[in-house]
Each structure stands twice: as C-alpha cells, then as structure tokens.
Structure 1
Amino acid sequence: MADALLEVEGLDAFYKDFQALYGVNMRIGQGDVIAVIGANGAGKTTLMRTVTGFLKAKPDAIRWKGRGIGGLRVDQIAALGIALVPEGRLLFPSLSVEENLLIGGQMKRKGPWSLSRIYKLFPVLQERRNVPATALSGGQQQMVAIGRALMANPELIMMDEISLGLAPVIIKSIYDALPGIVGEGLTAIVVEQDIAKALSVSSRLYCLQEGRVSLTGLSGEVSHDEISRAYFGV
C-alpha cells in the first residue's frame, strides 16, 4: 500500500476527565475521499477537532506524511496543509463574505484555489460578497465555510456535518460541488449523519460508535446490515 498522507493510530481524546475517543485507528491516502459516519455523540467531531489540534493528542497518535503532529498548535497544523470546515460553520459575524474568505488565505500556501475560483464554484457568494457572512442563508454560509477552507490551499480538507440543518435542495447543490473540489487530487474526510449521502461521495468509510471504530471498509462493499450494526451497536 502507498504511504499514507494521514495516519491515526491508537488515538485517545479527552474533554478534561471525560474520554471521548478510545484507540481510534485510521489511514488516509493521497486523493482518498473518506466518510466518517456515526450517531450523535459517537465521537466524529471530536476526531476532527483532535486531528486539527483543537484537542491535544500524543504526538505519534496522529502522523502527517510520517511526522507526528499530535502536539502541534492549530495554526501549525493548518500550515502543513490540513483545513477544517467546522460543524456550525463558525463564520466571523462582523466580517463580509469576502473578508471571511480572505481569512482562509492567510497561510499563503501555494495552490489552485483563489478568490476568483471560489466565486466560480459558488457564484452566489460573488453576488453577495459585501454582505455580512452571517446575514446569508444557512446553505450560503456553508458555502462560505467551505470556500474559506479551500482558500488555505490544503492537501486535506475535513468537512464536519456540512449538510446539518440544511434543506435537501441546498444539500444537493453543495454535494454537487464536491467533485469540483476533490477533482485535482485533494484528499477529503466528510463527516456525515446521512449514511446514503456519505456512501455516495466516498471511496471508503469509518463508522464510530461510542468513541470507537466499529466498522471500516470500502463504501461500495459494506452492507446496510453491517452499517446498521456498527452505527447503533446492535
């Protein structure tokens, strides 16, 4: 197997005295689109937050291109080429759409993504570029959050619950844009509660249940019964 871009091995994560992840193992290759599924409270967001440095981990529990990064700061991990689209979007309410997007480019990493390309991907953002970002609809705010992450020109983009709370037509438009996002070799981890949607966009999946990996496999080969057992623990 080719060298992994991101490896997670024996990862534990804590919120003070509460343990949220138990010995999680993952292996992500260059160009993979990985789905992470699981019920509320399964540990999906905790996994994303730990990989991106918001929660600390042992250095060698998270390796980027073979280098242990578990103890690095959020900005150091971002500079390596890992970007997060956080659950809830977390846009800056006092800034316009364009200003929120430009913040994503502060690392000045070289790559294909620029303001003009984000506007080509999501034309409505160009139309509303001077509007306060939080004055947009939920779906448009999600586009800003995705665009902000892409402006960092990451090698790995991690998208946490990007369809949460959105209307089906908006979810479809965002997922329709995904091939254009990952089409040039960008690696992606998509956290999603909609199992069918997760399977449709990914090559491989990991299911979390109570902080542990309960199932992993190729998205096109795992059965609905296997997923149901792993998802609900029954």
Structure 2
Amino acid sequence: MPEALLSTHGLNAHYGDFQALFGVDINIHAGEVIAIIGANGAGKTTLMRSITGLLANRPDMVTYRNTPIGALRADQVARTGIAMVPEGRQLFQSLSVEENLIIGGQIGRKGPWELEKVFRLFPILKERRAVPSTALSGGQQQMVAIGRALMSNPELILFDEISLGLAPIIIKSIYEVLPDIIGEGMSAVIVEQDIAKALSVAGRVYCMQEGRISLEGRSNELTREQISAAYFGV
C-alpha cells in the first residue's frame, strides 16, 4: 500500500474521566474512500472529533502527510486540508445559505470548489441562497453543510452520520452526488450506521465497537457474518 495520507496511532480519547476511544489505529490513503460503521455509542463521532481537532490528543496520535496534528486546534487542522460535515449539520442559524457557504471558504485554501460550483452540485441551494438556514428542510441543510466543507477545498473530507434523520429519498440524492465530490481526487471517510450504504461507496471499512476497532477489511471481501459479529459483538 502507498504511504497513508492520514493515520491514527494508538488513539485514545477522553471526555473528562470517561475514556471513549481505546488505541484506535486507522489509515486513509490519497484518493481512497473508507467507511466507519458501528452502533450508537461505538465511538465513531469521537474519532471524527479527534481527527479534526475538536478533541485534543498527543501530537503523534494523529498524523497527516507524516506531520503530527493530534494537538492542533480545529481551525489549524482545517488549514492542513481536512474538512468535516458534522453530525447534525451545525449551520449558523442567523446566516443565509450563501453566507454559510462563504464561511467555509474563509480559511483561504486554493482549489476547484467555489460558490458557483457548489450551486451546480446542489441547484436548490442557488434558488434558496438568500434564505436563512433555519428555513431549510433537513436535506437542504445537509447540502449546505456539505457545500460549506467543500468550500474549504479539502484533500480529505469526513462525513459524520451523513444520512442521520433524513428521508430515504433525500439520502439517495445525497449519495448520488458523492461520486462528483470524490471524483475530484479527494479522499473521504463515510461514517454511517447504514451498513449497506457505507459499503456501497467505500473500498475499505472499519467497524467500531465500544471505542475500539472490531473489524477492518476490504468492503467486497468481508462477509455479512463477519460484519454482524463485529457490529453487534456476537
């Protein structure tokens, strides 16, 4: 395998005295899409928060392009080329669709993603560009969250529970545009509870259980029985 773009090395994470991650090791290579699956409370979001600097760790527990970033702040991590579409969207409620998108570009990274390209990806957002984010449907809000992350022109994009709380038809439409995003040569992490959706787009999969990696392998080589055992711990 080529050298990893991003790696975690024995990653631990805590919320006060509570330990949420235990020695997690993952690797993501340039141009690769991986899935991270697991039940509620498995540690998936904590892993994303640790990678993006929302939870600080020892510097060497997360490396990006062979550079330790585990102790960087979230804004510093974003400037290295990592963006996240957070669970629950977390838009700026007082701002319009366009203003939310523009904020994503404020870190100043150069690249192909700018406002009009996001509008081509999600035409409904151009129609509603002046509308407050609070007036959007859940699916439209998710589109804004994805667009905001793309506006930072990342090399690696993390989708945390991309389909959570959305209607099946909206989930389908969002997954349909993922090839247009990843096709730009970007690497991606898809965090999902929907195993079938995750496996449909990812070349490799990690399964988490109780803060640990319980299974890792190529999506087309793992059996349903292996995934079920790792997911549910049976």
Q: TM-score range by the shorter chain?
A: over 0.9
Residue 83 of structure 1, CA deviation: 0.2
* Aligned residues with identical type, % of pairs: 67
Match of 2:91 in 1: 91
Describe how 1:190-201 pairs up with structure 2 within 5 A.
190-201=190-201
Other structure's SS at 1:54 match = coil
Residue 18 of structure 1, CA deviation: 0.2
**What is the distance in 2 between the residues matched to 1:73 and 1:139?**
29
- Which runs of no fewer than 5 residues in structure 2 stay unpaired? none
Matched, 1:55 2:48: no
Matched, 1:137 2:137: yes
**What is the distance in 1 between the residues matched to 2:134 and 2:7?**
35
Match of 2:30 in 1: 30
Residue 232 of structure 1, CA deviation: 0.5
**What is the distance in 1 between the residues matched to 2:203 and 2:114?**
27
Other structure's SS at 2:101 match = helix
Other structure's SS at 1:107 match = coil
Residue 3 of structure 1, CA deviation: 1.1
Residue 184 of structure 1, CA deviation: 1.7
**What is the distance in 2 between the residues matched to 1:44 and 1:78?**
19
What one-letter code is carried by the residue in structure 2 that aligns with 1:158?
A: L
Deviations 1:96-154 (A, max 9, x none): 00000000000111111010000000000000000001210000000000000000000
**What is the distance in 2 between the residues matched to 1:2 and 1:186?**
16
TM, length-normalised to structure 2: 0.99
Match of 1:111 in 2: 111
Match of 2:153 in 1: 153
Residue 57 of structure 1, CA deviation: 1.0
Q: How many residues align?
A: 234
Give the root-mean-square deviation of aligned CA atoms. 0.5
TM, length-normalised to structure 1: 0.99
Moved over 6 A (4+): none
Other structure's SS at 1:22 match = strand
Residue 9 of structure 1, CA deviation: 0.9
Describe how 1:1-234 pairs up with structure 2 within 5 A.
1-234=1-234
- Which runs of no fewer than 5 residues in structure 1 stay unpaired? none
**What is the distance in 1 between the residues matched to 2:119 and 2:214?**
39
